[in-house]
Structure 1
Amino acid sequence: MTTHPFLAVPPGTLRQLRAVDDAGRACVPYADGEGGAPLRRGGPQPADGYPFARPGALRTVRRYDAGGRIVGGRLLQIPDDATAAFDAAFADPEVAVAHVRAVEYGCFLFEVRRP
């Protein structure tokens, strides 16, 4: 089993996106009354090492090459074995990085780099 480094959105990017989103719209704070929304700054790491591990959540592991082009992907439903999904992604020598995204809206959650 390989340990994969999880990288959250950088603090500088967060500061910028808290003022204006990537579409140029002003951001409005809100409270997540139901819970389960990802923390854009990372947040606590659960015991198994996988961030945002709400059971049943659908995620996509989108694979990118060194030039930033998409070279594949995989659907992941928590608590499926995320480590196996990352191992499979990085078994392809063309894959430089994987983004983990929410399936519903495509929101970027975190990045996983080749170990």
Structure 2
Amino acid sequence: MTTHLVHAIGPAVLKELRSTDDAGRRMVPVTDDEGGAPLRCCLRRSRPGERVALVSYAPLRRWAAGAGVDPGAYDEQGPVFVHAEECDGPAGDGPPFDGAHRVVRRYSADGRILGGRLVEPGDLEAAFAQAFADPAVEFVQVRAVEYGCFLYEVRGG
């Protein structure tokens, strides 16, 4: 069985986003009275009463800068929820946020989209295996169907 490595937004990037996000805005923390926000820092849903923030994040731009490539027109930014303060990061097995339809978007080593797939609840591992069976796939992004928001990145293991 192939292992797929799920990546939350890393601590160094989170520190930057909590100061000034990828749209140049300052973070505005709020208390999440209801809970349920998909937190990209620890890959779980928020609990009632936790302090969270909605920040703008450009996942492909940040990946491309580290990889030394130009994301070109595929560069995009969008809203993500994070804890307002530092947290312990992910602490779970298996793909997070797997209870709803998701989109798995495949990317090449030069940051170009190779395609995407709508995934049924519970079928993320199979979608990852299919994506990484293509040697041109460098990584995938898992996104929410409802809003298209970035949830997390996955790499082959």
Tell me which interval the TM-score lies in, with the shorter structure as reference length: 0.7 to 0.9
Cα distance, 1:61 vs structure 2: 0.8
Equivalent position amino acid for 2:33 in 1: G
* Conservation of the 8 A alpha-carbon contact between 1:3 and 1:83: no
Cα distance, 1:22 vs structure 2: 1.4
> Runs ≥4 in structure 1, deviation > 4 angstroms?
none
* Conservation of the 8 A alpha-carbon contact between 1:36 and 1:52: no
TM-score, length of structure 1 as denominator length:
0.81
1:104 maps to which residue? 146
2-structure distance, mates of 1:85, 1:100: 10
Cα distance, 1:9 vs structure 2: 0.8
Q: Pick one of 79, 84, 96 that aligns with 1:51.
A: 96
Hey, which of these two has a bigger chunk of strand by percent? Answer: 2
Secondary structure at the aligned position of 1:89 is classed as helix
**Per-residue CA shift, 1:58-92, capped at 9, x if unaligned?**
321110001011001111243x2111010111111
**Per-residue CA shift, 1:4-51, capped at 9, x if unaligned?**
1111111111111112221112221123334332222223315xx122
- Larger relative contact order (CA 8 Å, sep ≥ 6): 1
Q: Which residues of structure 2 form unaligned runs of 5+?
A: 43-89
Secondary structure at the aligned position of 1:62 is classed as strand
**Worse-superposed segment, 34-43 or 6-15:** 34-43
Aligned sequence identity (%): 58
Cα RMSD over matched residues?
A: 1.8
* Conservation of the 8 A alpha-carbon contact between 1:19 and 1:26: yes
